[in-house]
Amino acid sequence: MNILLLCNKSPFPPSEGGPMAMNSVVMGLLEAGHNVKVMAFNSNKYHVDVESIPEEYRKKTRIEFIDIDLSVKPIEALKNLFSDESYHVKRFVSEKFRNRLIEVLKEEKFDIVQLEMIYMAPYIETIREHSDATIVLRAHNVEHKIWERISKKTVFFAKRWYINHLVQTLRSYEMSILDKVDGIAAITITDASFFRRVTATPVIDLPFGVDIDKFDPVFEVSDAPTFYHIGSMNWMPNEEGIKWFLKNVWKKVTKRVPKAKLYLAGRNMPKWIYKKKIRNVEVVGEVPDAHEFVNQHNVAIVPLLSGSGMRIKIIESMALGKTVITTLVGAEGIQYSEFDNIIIADNEPKMVENIVRLYKHPEEAEAIGLNARRLVEEIYDNKKIINRLEIFYNELKSKREITVLN
């Protein structure tokens, strides 16, 4: 099949959640023998130098970028208060992107056009007008639910009121486009269930997959286990979770086990983290090799309080044989067995207790890490996931062909 992926950011380098999810599909489809072309936005928030992308990747994906400014403009944001449009989505509307998309659709025939996240949905009408391709929305999250959770935790009234406006307009837009695509590939079972309740459009749950062969696990846990968090800090739920963890959990951990150490890695570390200088916390920032960083440590801490979709960094840590301590929100969408292949700690006392226990009993962390790896091999192997996606594509294409004939 000839497949066009429209992405709100570059899938390469796969250094944070969204790009990693996109890249897993890109590579999986290429390895399965399909032709893939990628069109992506290149923004001030997530900018990629084209020359930094390996030549082989550029050749295989025929990737091209359209520049866009995603800065929040105060006047536009204020005007949006008097509009029914989603400000989240509106920022991704680009005539330059639309015009180039029309050229691409005229240049070649595509079997599938896949929209990576709802922010690419403004181009549905353009695709319909210039192509007979089957359109698939790959829903990384139920987007408005992320902001609903953030709103509920926002204390300042004016800010909460504004976020609620964003939630309402985003929800309205998200619901409006579900019937306009031919199929929806949700990353989690939870999100897929939600979509099935609100639309008749065919839905599949299609989790993030990893290339098992590229994950070389280190199962051994040191006598004094080290803890880590890795994730892009320009994603609000990550920063929110770490702020809560450092304030409410880590100080209590170090009172009970004074030598415990926490390492924080990821892009866009906020200045306040560096200024805090919290006991036994080392702020690493962006790392050149995420796998190497993870394998240097023992237990992943993912203290998410909001968000939707699947935590890709959790799956990667599990693939590398690590024990993950997270919340119910963090584990949402993962087919886990508690205390067998993951630890759920949904409040401060549980989080403290489990971290202290693993520090004192590293053999438990080793056993859970082994089971975590097995879970990934069974369910999150990218080859198995891409095979399911191919079947879904074919079903949607057949259904669309029958509809067109009728």
Q: Is the torsion defined by CA of 259, 369, 236, 356 positive or negative?
A: negative
70 — pLDDT class (breaks 50, 70, 90):
confident
Element (H, E) at 177: helix 157-177
In the predicted model, is pLDDT for residue 28 greater than 90?
yes
Can you give the pLDDT at residue 77?
75
Write down the pLDDT at residue 309.
60
Domain boundaries, the chain: 2-209+381-405, 213-379
Percent of the chain residues past pLDDT 90, beyond the cut:
77
Residues 258-276 pLDDT 10s? 999 999 999 889 999 998 8
Q: How far apart are CA 33 and CA 355, in angstroms?
A: 45
Confidence of residue 216 (pLDDT cuts 50, 70, 90): very high
Q: What share of the chain has pLDDT > 70, as a percent?
A: 98
Q: Sorting pLDDT into bands at 50, 70 and 90, what band is 225?
A: very high
Over residues 213-235, the mean pLDDT reads 93
CA angle 178, 183, 189 (to 5 degrees): 85
pLDDT of 154 reads 81
Mean pLDDT of 188-204: 95
* 154 exposure class (CB count in 10 Å sphere: 0-12, 13-18, 19+): middle
Structure tokens at 280: 């036994």
**According to the model, what pLDDT value does residue 405 have?**
59
Note whether 69 and 44 are within 8 A (CB). Answer: yes
pLDDT band at 150; cut points 50, 70, 90: confident
Residues 6+ apart with CB under 8 A from 234: 45, 267, 268
Give the pLDDT of residue 43: 93
Evaluate whether the domain defined by 213-379 bears CATH number 3.40.50.1100: no
The CATH class of 2-209+381-405 is alpha beta
The average pLDDT across 366-377 equals 97
- Please compute the mean of the pLDDT values over residues 351-356 and round it to a whole number: 98
Q: Within a 10 A sphere around the Cβ of 165, how many other Cβ atoms? A: 16
> In the prediction, which pLDDT does 403 show?
66
Distance CA 17, CA 117 (A): 12
pLDDT in tens, 33-60: 999 999 999 998 889 999 999 999 999 9
Burial class (CB in 10 A: 0-12, 13-18, 19+), 164: middle
| Predicted pLDDT at 145 | 85
**Model pLDDT, residue 163:** 84
Domains 2-209+381-405 and 213-379 share a fold: yes
Angle at CA of residue 158, ends 155 and 164, nearest 5°: 85
Q: How does the average pLDDT of the chain come out, rounded?
A: 92
Average pLDDT over residues 99-121: 97
- End-to-end, the C-alpha distance of the chain in Å comes to 24
Quick one: pLDDT at residue 142?
87
In angstroms, the CA 119 to CA 86 distance is: 10
What's the confidence (pLDDT) of residue 193? 94
CA gap 245, 251 in Å, rounded = 9
302 near 314, Cβ under 8 Å?
Answer: yes
**Residues 263/227, Cβ–Cβ less than 8 Å:** yes
Phi, psi of 385 (to 5 degrees): -70, -45
DSSP string, 130-141: H--PEEEEEESS
Nearest Cα to 384, choosing from 31, 12, 137, 38?
A: 31
Mean pLDDT for 5-9 is: 97
Rg of the chain over Cα atoms, rounded to whole angstroms, equals 22
DSSP one-letter string for 375-395: HHHHH-BHHHHHHHHHHHHHH
Burial of 404 (0-12, 13-18, 19+ CB in 10 A): exposed
pLDDT of residue 406: 59
- Is residue 369 within 8 A of residue 221, CB to CB? The reply is yes
* Length in residues, the chain: 406
pLDDT digits (tens, 9 = 90+) for 283-307: 999 999 999 999 999 999 999 988 6
